[in-house]
Amino acid sequence: MKTNDVEILVIGAGIVGIATAYYMAVQHKRSRVLIVDEGQPMALTSAQSGENYRNWWPHPTMADFTNHSTDLMEEIARRSDNRIHMTRRGYLLVTREEKPEELLQQLYAGYGPQAEKLIRLHE
């Protein structure tokens, strides 16, 4: 691709840059997308990730945002016969707090009206 053919230039080939370019191409049908990176793709922060995902955030906006991301990943998993090896093994959150009420309040706030249905507590 010649440089003057490029419509959208994505700087950085980590997971965010690659996802941006992917959705520009697949969802928004843009064909003149170029990703550049000063190093190797997926070699910096994205190479360190534990690849876990969760939607526990203390604010409903972040819960919505991560729910949307999870929906997008599930769609990719469905369409690709789960080539991304997505699993739902759950997320174990452990705290040294003897009284975790504040953490729990954040959890309820993040999930909003759905909280009672979604949260399971074990003593």
Ligand X SMILES: Cc1cc2nc3c(=O)[nH]c(=O)nc-3n(C[C@H](O)[C@H](O)[C@H](O)COP(=O)(O)OP(=O)(O)OC[C@H]3O[C@@H](n4cnc5c(N)ncnc54)[C@H](O)[C@@H]3O)c2cc1C
Give contact residues for ligand X (rule: CB under 6 A).
Answer: 11-17, 36-39, 43-46, 48-53
Query: Which tokens go with 111?
Result: 């999930």
CB of 123 to ligand X, least distance (A): 27
Identify whether the C-beta of residue 10 lies closer than 8 Å to the C-beta of residue 17: yes
Write down the least CB distance from residue 112 to ligand X, Å: 22
- Collapse the DSSP code of 33 into the 3-class scheme (helix H, G, I; strand E, B; otherwise coil) and give the result: strand
- Enumerate the H helices of 1-123 as residue ranges: 15-26, 60-79, 101-111, 115-118
Q: Which is nearer to ligand X, 8 or 44 (CB)?
A: 44
Query: What DSSP element (H or E) covers 1?
Result: none
- Min dist. Cβ of residue 66 to ligand X (A): 9
Q: Which residue lies nearer to ligand X by CB, 75 or 102?
A: 75
Closer of 38 and 71 to ligand X (Cβ): 38
